[in-house]
Structure 1
Amino acid sequence: MLLTLSHIQATPLLAAHKAGATAVAISLDLNRTLTPCDLSAAGLHLPTGGVLDWPSVEEAAESENACFHITTGEDGRPTLRKINFFSEELQRAYTLYPTHRAPTMLVSGITMHRIVDCDPHEDTLNKIKAVGKVTGDVLDTTMGLGYTAIMAAQTAASVLTIELDPTVEEVCRLNPWSQELFTNPRISRRIGHAWDVVEELPAAHFSVVLHDPPMFNMAGELYAQDFYAELYRVLKGNGRLFHYIGNPASKSGATTTRGAIRRLQAAGFRRVEPRPAAFGVLAVK
């Protein structure tokens, strides 16, 4: 059983203990479900056995920018491990970042999802809605925490999701919201650069492509006309591409959106339409 904790759960847990409560219903999977747990002077009694002591709960409560995996320490007792990793290959730091729903991930300090007036689950839902009916074979060009692939797999026949950095998979394995990446038989994962992987894929194979690359200044090649042409190639006739870009109301977002629309049209897409509510554009082959 994967147990996790953040300040969002730890803070009210401390308040309940201070108020004299001896039992609580708390989420130990970052807001997915509630689990009844006993409290004592020793700490939080876990459903898997053992007691997480109050200093550990206080550590989680004081760390507003991190999530913690509840694991077993060298002494055999429950302890906390911050869910963060560093990629030597890409020189990027990855941290699972809590919200009041699904967590997002900080990539060298930058949030992967919209979290202002939105949450990662809603952000993902907006992307799926923007592309319309998701059926057949689906390509997700940038896995991240896997939320897009997982949501697409609810209705798609299959989803292929690509991740550049294997370090990101380590974060996913400790994120309760990412577990279907590893358990859903309709989802397959591929490690590699999206361009390299897509070049190897068969033509006219996918009904839907979901393209949610990092910011332009981090992965400009994934906004290139030649890459768009590869996405066009692997789409079936009348296939749809949703391309997440960023806030169209911002100066950089507006500029990047205009350039992306122009290059998508040059790559052959016959209809390219802004989808401002989803911070992206829809393109049809």
Structure 2
Amino acid sequence: MRHWDEIVLSHLQMKELLAAQKRGETDATLSLDLNLSTVPVTLDAEGVQLQPAERLTWEDVAFINEDENSCFHLTPESINKIQAFSPETNRLYTLYPTASAPTMLISGIPMHRIKESDPHRDTLAKVQTLRPLTGQVLDTATGLGYTAIEAAKTAAHVVTLELDPAGLEVARRNPWSQALFGNPKIEQRIGDSGELICDFADSSFDAILHDPPMFGLAGHLYSADFYRELYRVLKPRGRLFHYIANPDSKQGATITRGVIQRLTAVGFTKVTRRPEAFGVVAAK
């Protein structure tokens, strides 16, 4: 059952249509919301009837199928690639399809694990490190909103921080991100997490999910000064999950060692590696 009226497609759905066409089928089942649900569609010589007012020609199918790195928003008038350029950060944000939930490319770099995992499982692995996740939760990097959405299923309130409005523009077109904009338990704030963290009172949060961009893009979010602020706003006995990188990679192992040292130096205890989630957990 579909819960969103917009149509978003990728090469993965087009390959299904082309395979059905090759088999000579006139009826098929297709997802119009990037794998959240499926609906029946009708194939004929000219194209595919998706729903009463929406249709794809076979030329449209070929056009979408040619681009394996993008998702497309379909309207009666046009087919639009879901991406946004940020003049503030000089970064291009693109919705990237997978067999599960899509991820977002930030100037070509995926913001979720897509090898040996997928964005949905990646999100669950991060959130599960802090189970049971209740009370007041801080998510330091909104992205597509998956972490905030998952946390809000059990937490009383989630505050999520996003540096770049261009990223949220992409999220608004993503079927998997809709609860980010419709769930009253989720509060969005725009700005640099390194600055916004100073706005919160001491001991504001029961848990913090810190999933920053890679070190090369946001080194200040890996600094002792920022960790000191995380410690300050965390309640006593509160817990932190810090996503880092693949601990088995040379760079990931090096960054992880530094993170553990700095977290410990500012007061965090029980700093423990969680390799299944590519990060560490710590307590106050």
Structures share a fold, TM > 0.5? yes
**Does the 8 Å CA contact 1:42/1:51 hold for their aligned counterparts?**
no
Per-residue deviation, 1:39: 1.8
**Does the 8 Å CA contact 2:27/2:42 hold for their aligned counterparts?**
yes
**Does the 8 Å CA contact 2:54/2:76 hold for their aligned counterparts?**
no
**Alignment match, 1:190:** 189
Q: Which amino acid aligns with 2:57?
A: D
**Alignment match, 1:59:** 63
1:21 is paired with a residue of what secondary structure? Answer: coil
**Does the 8 Å CA contact 2:31/2:37 hold for their aligned counterparts?**
yes
Q: Deviations over 1:201-248 (max 9, x none)?
A: 111111110000011111000000110011111111100000000001
**Does the 8 Å CA contact 1:209/1:235 hold for their aligned counterparts?**
yes
Match of 1:9 among 4, 10, 13: 13
Cα distance in 1 between the residues matched to 2:222 and 2:54: 50
Q: Deviations over 1:11-56 (max 9, x none)?
A: 1112212322222110010011011112222322122513121111
Aligned-residue RMSD, C-alpha = 1.0
Q: Deviations over 1:121-142 (max 9, x none)?
A: 0001110111221000100000
**Alignment match, 1:37:** 41
Cα distance in 1 between the residues matched to 2:258 and 2:52: 52
**Alignment match, 1:46:** 50
Q: Is 1:86–2:85 an aligned residue pair?
A: yes
Q: Deviations over 1:173-205 (max 9, x none)?
A: 110000000111111111100011110011111
- Between 207-216 and 44-53, the greater mean CA deviation after superposition: 44-53
1:162 is paired with a residue of what secondary structure? Answer: strand
Cα distance in 1 between the residues matched to 2:107 and 2:250: 22
**Does the 8 Å CA contact 2:14/2:62 hold for their aligned counterparts?**
yes
Q: Is 1:27–2:26 an aligned residue pair?
A: no
1:33 is paired with a residue of what secondary structure? Answer: coil
**Does the 8 Å CA contact 2:139/2:159 hold for their aligned counterparts?**
yes
**Superposition misfits of 4+ residues, deviation over 6 angstroms:** none
Cα distance in 1 between the residues matched to 2:143 and 2:108: 15
Q: Which amino acid aligns with 2:34?
A: L
- Between 61-70 and 239-248, the greater mean CA deviation after superposition: 61-70
**Does the 8 Å CA contact 2:10/2:97 hold for their aligned counterparts?**
yes
Identity of aligned residues (%): 56
Per-residue deviation, 1:274: 0.7
**Does the 8 Å CA contact 1:28/1:34 hold for their aligned counterparts?**
yes
- Normalising to structure 1: TM-score of the pair? 0.96
Cα distance in 1 between the residues matched to 2:136 and 2:265: 25
**Alignment match, 2:214:** 215
Per-residue deviation, 1:93: 0.8
2:188 is paired with a residue of what secondary structure? Answer: strand
**Alignment match, 2:260:** 261
Q: Which amino acid aligns with 2:123?
A: T
Cα distance in 1 between the residues matched to 2:55 and 2:262: 57
- Between 45-54 and 22-31, the greater mean CA deviation after superposition: 45-54
Q: Is 1:162–2:166 an aligned residue pair?
A: no
Cα distance in 1 between the residues matched to 2:189 and 2:226: 18
Q: Which amino acid aligns with 1:271?
A: K
Gaps of at least 5 residues in structure 2 are none
Cα distance in 2 between the residues matched to 1:6 and 1:127: 27
1:93 is paired with a residue of what secondary structure? Answer: strand
Q: Which amino acid aligns with 2:105?
A: L
Cα distance in 2 between the residues matched to 1:228 and 1:7: 41
**Alignment match, 2:120:** 121
| 1:48–1:123 CA distance, 2 compared to 1 (3 A) | farther
Cα distance in 2 between the residues matched to 1:8 and 1:157: 37
Q: Which amino acid aligns with 1:149?
A: A
Q: Deviations over 1:39-84 (max 9, x none)?
A: 22232212251312111111111111111111232xxxxx311111
